[in-house]
Amino acid sequence: MDIKYGLIAIPVVIAIFAIAIPGNEPFLPEIDSKVQEVSKIQPQIADAEEQKVRDYTLVIEATDFEVSPTAVWHAWTFNGTIPAPTLRVQEGELLRVRVINNHNLTHSFHAHMADYDPKHDGSPINTITGVGAGSMIPPGGEWTYEYNVNTSGTTFFHDHAASEGLGIKDHILQGLYGSIIIERDPPKTFIDRDIVIVMSEIGYDVERKSKGPVPFYIMNGKGVPGGEKALEEIFKEKGLDGVVEQFNKTIPVHYAKVGETVQFHVINLGEQIHSFHLHGNKMISSTNDRGSVITSQTLPLVQGT
């Protein structure tokens, strides 16, 4: 079981994700590209004393998102997206992340990894002990974090600062979180598509533009159901097709071919319990990339898994 500070990271593998039905054109919504999918970022790769190093740079900054026709979320982001760009690394490598704080509050980068110098923890313990105090990054500052990568699997990172009356949870829910995908060495060859899904809730700083519902839950940065009419009303007016259309406006849509194997890395970084459920497919879930597997129809995700 891949346990990071008492929290479980869960990759999910399924045999078939989506089936295209002849005669039915898929609904393709207009979605803000900043939050439609988990962002991709290319690392700089170099060798250091025979250990390969993956270098990433993340910039903390304020970013506004229109999460519905009724509201704007004044969020905080890594590189302007929610969730942050996915960091991919391979077993045996050194993960090195340079973080620049362009926001007006102290922030940090706290990764749920197991093998690293405590000075790179990016938590209040660094300030308390004075060891790596700079990893709690003041406005205008920066810090480079390093982690030895030993075991493949799915984990995550988030801000671990608290400042000016805001707790750690407020910093996280404002958008400062993302995923780390640790790939096998050698890599898997049976996966056709690899998808990251991060679930959470919208942070505290939301500006109402007009009357109407504001989304609470988010998936890869998009509000659910999106601040439109309640789903019950949509169902009465348009039936199940209307409900599907409504969700497709506000959450990511992923496509796959019949017979493909799709791997989902599903993470809950919110305060609420979320779940992951696919219709008409068999899921094989694992608590880490090399551990025991179980079959299930619904994958419950408690906070921080």
Q: What pLDDT, on the 0 to 100 scale, is given for residue 290?
A: 56
Q: What pLDDT, on the 0 to 100 scale, is given for residue 249?
A: 67
Cis peptide before 69 (omega within 30 of 0): no
Q: What pLDDT, on the 0 to 100 scale, is given for residue 102?
A: 98
pTM for the model stands at 0.78
Architecture of domain 3-301: Sandwich (2.60)
Q: What residue spans define the domains of the chain?
A: 3-301
Count of beta carbons in the 10 Å neighbourhood of residue 273: 12
Cis peptide before 11 (omega within 30 of 0): no
pLDDT tens sequence across 152-171: 889 999 999 998 789 999 99
Please list the ranges in the chain whose pLDDT falls under 50.
1-37, 227
Token code pair at residue 244: 């599907």
Distance CA 112, CA 301 (A): 17
Helix (H, G, I), strand (E, B) or coil at 288: coil
Distance CA 172, CA 168 (A): 6
pLDDT tens sequence across 239-282: 888 877 777 666 777 888 888 888 888 899 888 877 777 777 66
For 8-27, b/e burial (b = at least 16 CB within 10 A) is bbbbbbbebbbeeeeeeeee
Q: What pLDDT, on the 0 to 100 scale, is given for residue 59?
A: 98
Residue position matching structure tokens 């496509």: 255
> What DSSP line would sit under 42-58, residue for residue?
PPEEEEETTEEEEEEEE
